[in-house]
Every structure is written in C-alpha cells, then in structure tokens.
Amino acid sequence: MKKNLFPLLLFLALTPAIAQKGLQKPGMVSYTFRNSLQKNMAATLDTIKSLGVTDMEFSNLFGKTAADIRKLLDERGMKCSSFGVSYGDALDKTAEVGQNAKTLGASFVRVAWVPHQGAFTLDMAKKTVADFNQIGQKLKDDFGLTFCYHNHGYEFEPYENGTLYDYIVQNTNPQYVSFEMDILWTFFPGADPVALLKKYPKRYKLMHLKDLRKGVTGNLSGGTPVVNDVALGTGQINIPAILKAAKKSGIEHYYIEDESPSYATQVPQTIAYLKILK
C-alpha cells in the first residue's frame, strides 16, 4: 500500500509548480474522440467541455472546414492550440496547412509520423531533417507558426552514441523545428522521457499524456494495440517524474490522448488523477 501511495504523494508535493504550468487543465487530442467527432462534432465538443477541457489539438478536420470547427469552438469558449497534419501535407501543402492552422486559431502545426517501411534508417533521418527544416521555416516565416514533430517510437534506432531521434533533434534548426513528446511513444521503444526532457529542455513545446498497460513489452515498431493505452497512473510509466522534469522545460501545452476503445471510462479516470493536484 505504501508503495502504491508514492506517486500520489509525489504529485501532491509537485502541486504548486505543476499548477503554474497549467497541468490541472490539460487539453485533449481529437484522436481520443475520433469516432464521435466524426458523427457529431458539436455534441462531442460539449462532452469534452463538460469534462473541464477547453484546449484541443485537432489532427483531423473530420470532413469540415477549419472555419466550421473554429466557429464550433468559439461558440463554446474552447480553442485549438495545435493542428496535426500528415507528413505529406506538411511538405507539399504547407501554405494550405498554415492557413488552416491560423483559421483554427492554432499556434502549432504537428506531424506525428514519417512514412517509412521496415526499420528507420540514417538516410530516412537525413531526409526528415531537411524536410522538417523546410516546413518549419515556411510555417514560421509565412504564418508565424511553430512546427513540431511528435515522436512515435521507431526513431529510437541506435546511432553512434545515441539514436536516430537524437540525430533529428540535433540536426533540425531550433528556430524552425520544435518537438511534441508523446510519453508512451518515448517509453515504449526503451527511451527515458525524463532524460530526454533534461537533454533537450528547450526543444519540447507540446506533450501527450498517456500511459502504457502494465506488463506490455515495448519495441521499435512504432505500434502497439490500442487496448494498451490505459488511464494515467494505472500503467507502467512514471508520470510524476515526467511532470517534474516537464515543468522545467519549454512545454506550453499538455494534451490527454487515449486511443483505447475504453476511452469513455478511462479519460474521466485520467482527469480525476490529474485533479488530485488541487
């Protein structure tokens, strides 16, 4: 029992600092509610707001225009701070992406997957760096937006004294490329979220809050069954330690993401866990 109480006690100890970073009211990744947003966005936004969440990261327009979504958000006193798009759209439709992000009211544009087959390689990482620098510069110069890359696990292939993820961070231009840490997809391939936050404290601007089911063994595939997403504090990731490191970094927005089919019960659990901070 005492061991189980430790994370809670550490959370309570971190309350003042965490409150300053706005962690008591994190945002929500649209993918969590992807099915219901597709069917009835207005009602789903009402549900999300009823949970106390008003900050959204949209990674899909769900068949609507950016203006349509902005109107629905404005009517509810909600906002979209980050807009997620595919690698291809970010690279080939940068102006359209930038305009949609501005219409939504977002400050960030995020890509979460680099198309590849098989293991991620150095050549892939080099192309990724060049493309990200190009995308980031155009979004910053033309739209005043910050471009972020969301890790997904496969980038942690060993390389020299680190990984290919280190290569991407170290070779992208900090003026134009920042990062969104998905803590599950950092932990799953065997990396340490806390160590990365300390290593690159100014490069991270966004964070996905999620937990991995106990007993699940990770790998470098970039994939795991969605049922392995569990409510914060019930999995194997050291959430308190990550938040302690995160509060010293440049992270501006934290988003809850739960890909599990049990999200309807797990998201309230996650929010209740975070509300312990009060």
User: Is residue 41 within a helix (H) or strand (E), and if so which, with residue range?
Assistant: helix 41-50
Angle between helices 66-75 and 94-104 (to 10 degrees): 20
Question: Any bridge partners for residue 111, and if so which?
Answer: 85, 149
**Please, are residues 53 and 27 in contact by the beta-carbon 8 Å criterion?**
yes
Question: Which residues in 69-85 are b (16+ Cβ under 10 Å) and which e?
Answer: bbebbeeeebbbbbbbb
**Please, are residues 270 and 256 in contact by the beta-carbon 8 Å criterion?**
yes
- Please report the pLDDT score of residue 8 as a whole number: 40
Across the chain, what does the average pLDDT equal?
Answer: 92
- Please report the pLDDT score of residue 25 as a whole number: 81
Q: Positive or negative CA dihedral for 127, 133, 134, 139?
A: positive
- Please report the pLDDT score of residue 15 as a whole number: 42
Report CA-CA distances (Å) from 165 to 88, 210, 217, 246. Answer: 20, 20, 20, 19
**Please, are residues 253 and 56 in contact by the beta-carbon 8 Å criterion?**
no
Number of helices and strands in the chain (H, E): 13, 12
What is the domain count for the chain? 1
- Please report the pLDDT score of residue 18 as a whole number: 41
Residue with the two structure tokens 């006690």: 9
The pair of structure tokens assigned to 192 is 């340490």
**Please, are residues 38 and 64 in contact by the beta-carbon 8 Å criterion?**
no
Reported as a single tens digit per residue, the pLDDT across 183-232 is 999 999 999 999 999 999 999 999 999 999 999 999 999 999 999 999 99
Mean pLDDT of 114-125: 97
Q: How sure is the predictor about 24, in pLDDT bands with cuts at 50, 70 and 90?
A: low
Q: Are strands 158-159 and 146-150 parallel, antiparallel or unpaired?
A: unpaired
pLDDT above 90: residue 160: yes
pLDDT above 90: residue 22: no
Reported as a single tens digit per residue, the pLDDT across 248-272 is 999 999 999 999 999 999 999 999 9
**Please, are residues 110 and 150 in contact by the beta-carbon 8 Å criterion?**
yes
Reported as a single tens digit per residue, the pLDDT across 28-62 is 999 999 999 999 999 999 999 999 999 999 999 99
Range of the domain at 51: 2-275
How far is Cα 33 from Cα 257, in angstroms, rounded to an integer? 9
Question: Any bridge partners for residue 178, and if so which?
Answer: 148
Report CA-CA distances (Å) from 99 to 41, 109, 208, 237, 250. Answer: 21, 11, 24, 37, 25
Task: Please give the model's pTM, rounded to 2 decimal places.
Answer: 0.90
Lowest mean pLDDT across 7-11, 80-84, 102-106, 200-204? 7-11
Question: Looking at residue 234, which CATH number applies to its domain?
Answer: 3.20.20.150
How far is Cα 43 from Cα 74, in angstroms, rounded to an integer? 14
